[in-house]
Amino acid sequence: MIALVFAFSLTTGLCGTPSPVSSTMPVPTTVVVPGGTPVRVAVTDPVSSATAKVGDTFNVRSTDDIVVDGWIVVAKGGGGQGEVVSVDRAGSHGHPGNLGIKIDWIYAVDGEKIRLTSQEKNEEGKGEQGVSSTMTIVSWAFLGLPGLFAHNWVKGHDVVLDSSHPLKAYVDDTVHIAATTKADDAGFAH
């Protein structure tokens, strides 16, 4: 009984009335983030056409604060996810790799997942057709008739997306975010 009374007095104060709660938490403001708002992201771990498979997911992060009406709705470094939608590996004859991706979502400052457009971003690897042709000519000069087929062994480059490749996506549909931080300098305003 004494323990129960003591616990009650800690939560309500000694007079039996609730203790005032001091709060330094800012009051959230509801911000309407319109569909089509641009979001710049970068992949956190490299994604390569040499190893990726269709359906693989990868992590992204926001490269900037996303500011709407003076409020930060996605913080710089905010995490998200993308997906590999097509892969074409680099091959012989200087055929470059190709990687099709989409950015699925990113976290808002209130923890809500903001769905992003499904626009595919295709990045094409650097081709080596010039090298292939040069190899054929050089091989012909040194190897004779078998040298004409040397270009079959020249491989194109695979695509590698990493944090140095910024990507752009867009908010899919209008969303409401509970923002608590005003932007000092709107580095990226809508």
pLDDT in tens, 128-175: 444 433 333 343 444 455 544 544 555 567 778 888 888 899 999 999
Q: For the chain, what is the mean pLDDT?
A: 74
DSSP 77-115: T-EEEEEEEEEE---STTPPPEEEEEEEEEE-TTSPEEE
Q: What architecture (CATH level 2) is domain 2-179? A: Beta Barrel (2.40)
> What pTM, to 2 d.p., does this model score?
0.63
The mean pLDDT value for 51-59 works out to 93
Range scoring the smallest mean pLDDT among 22-31, 35-44, 66-75: 22-31
pLDDT band at 100 (very low <50, low <70, confident <90, very high): confident
* pLDDT of residue 121 exceeding 70: no
How far apart CA 106 and CA 112 sit, in angstroms, is 8
Measure the CA–CA gap between 136 and 110, rounded to whole angstroms.
59
Nearest to 40 by CA among 100, 86, 103, 98: 103
